[in-house]
Amino acid sequence: MTKKAIAEAFDRFAKTMPEAATELHFTNPYTLLVAVALSAQATDVGVNKATKSLFEIVKTPADMLALGLDGLIGHIKTIGLYNSKAKNLIAMAEILISDHDGIVPEDRDALEALPGVGRKTANVVLNEAFGHPTIAVDTHIFRLGNRTGMAPG
């Protein structure tokens, strides 16, 4: 695609979805981080169902640790890979408390150092929670970008 064609495509995207945002439900940067971590290989609808009751009692990393692994599993067992995700979320809460005073860092490297957080999750959190101009790129978007010539390699 030419630069002009790419610009035209993005203009159409902006007109179609002027207020594009995640469909995940969250109340703060921490609950967003949890929801996005749970969304790997799951649907947003499924994650929202599981987090509805979870986020009534978990709003901070300290709340997550108070809930504990077994309590967390009780809330997310409908989501695929829930055992490993639960372990990651507990470890993540511990690190957020010990290394970041219980606050979600506004830094890509610090986010990606957390268990269960990769570049896509970090980008969603940076964009949705902190307003950074990032784009979450999954396998499908990566492939589409390459096939259309919108993004190299």
As a whole number of angstroms, the distance between CA 69 and CA 51 comes to 15
Spatial contact of 120 and 136, defined as CB atoms under 8 Å apart: yes
CA–centroid distance for 119 within its chain: 10
Residues in the chain: 153
Indicate if 120 belongs to the active site.
yes
Spatial contact of 64 and 58, defined as CB atoms under 8 Å apart: yes
The DSSP 8-state label assigned to residue 115 in this structure reads T
Spatial contact of 120 and 133, defined as CB atoms under 8 Å apart: no
Among candidate residues 11, 99, 107, 138, the one labeled active-site is 138
Q: Which residues participate in catalysis according to the annotation?
A: 120, 138
